[in-house]
Amino acid sequence: MSIILDKINYSYNNGTAYEKQALRDINLVINDGEFIGLIGHTGSGKSTLIQHLNGLIKASSGNIYYNGADIYDKDYKMKDLRSKVGLVFQYPEHQLFETTVFKDICFGPKNLKLDPLEVDLRAYEAMKLVGLGEDMLDVSPFELSGGQKRRVAIAGVLAMKPDILILDEPTAGLDPRGRDEILDQIEKLHRETKITVILVSHSMEDVAKYVDRIIVMNKGEVFFDDEKRKVFANY
């Protein structure tokens, strides 16, 4: 898996009086198995950037190559990209809508029209990977704590077997203990599966302990992009 962003620019309300440039000349290469922290203040363009990676937002200019294929080519199957690039939104409530945890996690793979047995297997496996016990199977996702809800949302995305997992502010709304638990779980998941992970956060402190590479955004630009050890080398 590799994703190449080549001179990506994006403006909201392009061509109107309300035009707002959110991304400027973004060049990035994301390789298989990386564990990346995408950091920046609110409004720096993080959400806009990650939505380009799975095709939810189309660049105003520039190119994106997924495994070498130009995703803006008219023959490119954007639907494949949506299942390969798993996005977990900041507020898991937006991603939960079934009556039980198990049904919720099955929703994605079911939509892929997989064999029902395969759907169940994937859901069990995903639950294990995020540390949800089988006692959770029949619980309503809406009765869960913030941290548990987030685990269900992550499991639902993992059950699609994406190549890359992108988590937008996975610690939002959690207390310090919940924060550590979910980040530890994500690190374990990365270690065990070697899936590419992008952790999006406005807090360097939150993610620096976990990731290998740090990308800092500022006012729509990539301000810094390097291995973590180089960030802290001068301190």
List interacting residues with ligand ADP (CB under 6 A).
Answer: 12-13, 20, 22, 40, 42-48, 90, 169
Q: Which is nearer to ligand ADP, 13 or 234 (CB)?
A: 13
Q: How far is the CB of 14 from ligand ADP (least distance, A)?
A: 10
Q: How far is the CB of 202 from ligand ADP (least distance, A)?
A: 6
Q: How far is the CB of 60 from ligand ADP (least distance, A)?
A: 12
Q: How far is the CB of 73 from ligand ADP (least distance, A)?
A: 25
Residue 130 corresponds to which tokens in the numbers above? 């995020």
Q: Give alpha helix (H) positions in the chain.
A: 46-53, 78-84, 101-111, 116-129, 146-158, 176-193, 204-208, 228-231
Q: Which is nearer to ligand ADP, 11 or 185 (CB)?
A: 11
Q: How far is the CB of 200 from ligand ADP (least distance, A)?
A: 7
What CA–CA distance (Å, rounded) separates 157 from 83? Answer: 8
Q: Of 162, 232, 166, 181, give the one whose Cα is nearest residue 204.
A: 232
What CA–CA distance (Å, rounded) separates 87 from 51? Answer: 8
Residue with the two structure tokens 């959690």: 174
Q: Which is nearer to ligand ADP, 56 or 231 (CB)?
A: 56
What CA–CA distance (Å, rounded) separates 94 from 74? Answer: 30
Each residue of 37-71: b (16+ CB within 10 Å) or e? bbbbeeebbbbbbbbbbbbebebbebebbbeeeeb
Q: Are 78 and 69 in contact (CB under 8 A)?
A: no
Q: Are 126 and 155 in contact (CB under 8 A)?
A: yes
Q: How far is the CB of 190 from ligand ADP (least distance, A)?
A: 22
Q: Which is nearer to ligand ADP, 101 or 211 (CB)?
A: 211
Q: Are 104 and 139 in contact (CB under 8 A)?
A: no
Q: Which is nearer to ligand ADP, 12 or 76 (CB)?
A: 12
Q: Which is nearer to ligand ADP, 122 or 213 (CB)?
A: 213
